[in-house]
Structure 1
Amino acid sequence: MKPPVGPVDGTPAVSVCLHVLKKRADFVRASSARRQGTPGIHLQARKRPEGEAEGIRVGYTCSKKVGNAVARNRAKRRLREVSRAVLPEMGLDGWDYVLVGRKDVTATLPFDTLIADLRRALKKVHA
């Protein structure tokens, strides 16, 4: 099976690979760096020191305040899709991003609004 191609020049549709944060220490370091809240998403971001890792790394978290397991998983699935749509174009190489789900909002807000929230938060964090 062929990989998906772009509309014009035949380049791969997904050119930036997002690496997922898995270690608690990475989440803690991101939480003590820059933060930006929006109605649908809370973004935590930090620029990594030289030589630590390459590429864009992203993590997702939802506390029990978001709801039961079904609500938390739905919110995290939506956060993953939003990050796949926005971070390849607006994320910076050498940065860690943590997307935090919001209670009663992340799982129910329209998808276009979540994308706009993440774009706004990234502009503020990188300014």
Structure 2
Amino acid sequence: MTEQLTIARMKVRPQFLAAAKGVSLARGAVMVQILPRNDGDPLVHAGFTATRKVGGAVVRNRCKRRLREAARLLLPELGRPGCDYVFVARGGTAARSWPRLLDDVKSALISLAAEREPAKG
């Protein structure tokens, strides 16, 4: 990829609720939701969340930090411009080994991208 994909952070609840209406896919310790915006904005928006089921505040914050770093590494390569992505921590996100967490995120992003691509032929 020749140009760097710009990633903007999602921070307000309506953005997260809108993305929840899109396609979601769970892989291992992460669930990824994607929603194409169709507003002509080339940015990729990314949001990160962890519910109380994951653990206390310290565990939830650790999960979100790990997901932010995984998204920072993988979205420029696998993200689609003009889409919103929400990364939702699951039960094992905090304890998952780093290579396995990266594999989970990468697998989810690849599968979601394949669903969005029109059939060629």
TM bucket by the smaller chain? 0.7 to 0.9
The Cα shift of 1:39 comes to: 1.0
Whether 1:120 and 2:119 are equivalent positions in the alignment is: no
Separation in 2, partners of 1:20, 1:29:
14
The Cα shift of 1:61 comes to: 0.2
Secondary structure, in 3 states, of the residue corresponding to 1:97?
strand
Secondary structure, in 3 states, of the residue corresponding to 1:37?
strand
Q: Which residue of 1 aligns with 2:119?
A: none
The Cα shift of 1:32 comes to: 1.0
Q: Which residue of 2 aligns with 1:70?
A: 58
1:30 aligns with one of 7, 10, 19: 19
2:96 aligns with one of 84, 109, 124: 109
Q: Which residue of 2 aligns with 1:95?
A: 83
TM-score, with length taken from structure 2: 0.87
* Runs of 4+ off more than 2 Å: 14-17
One-letter identity of the residue aligned with 1:88: P
Secondary structure, in 3 states, of the residue corresponding to 1:87?
helix
Secondary structure, in 3 states, of the residue corresponding to 1:19?
strand
Q: Which residue of 2 aligns with 1:41?
A: 30
Q: How many pairs does the alignment contain?
A: 113
The Cα shift of 1:25 comes to: 1.0
Whether 1:19 and 2:8 are equivalent positions in the alignment is: yes
One-letter identity of the residue aligned with 1:112: P
Structure 1 vs Structure 2 CA RMSD: 1.6
Structure 1 gaps, min length 5? 1-10
Structure 2 gaps, min length 5? 115-121
One-letter identity of the residue aligned with 2:111: K
Separation in 1, partners of 2:43, 2:6:
8
Sequence identity of aligned pairs in percent? 37
Q: Which residue of 1 aligns with 2:69?
A: 81
Contact (CA 8 Å) 2:5, 2:81: kept in 1 or not? no
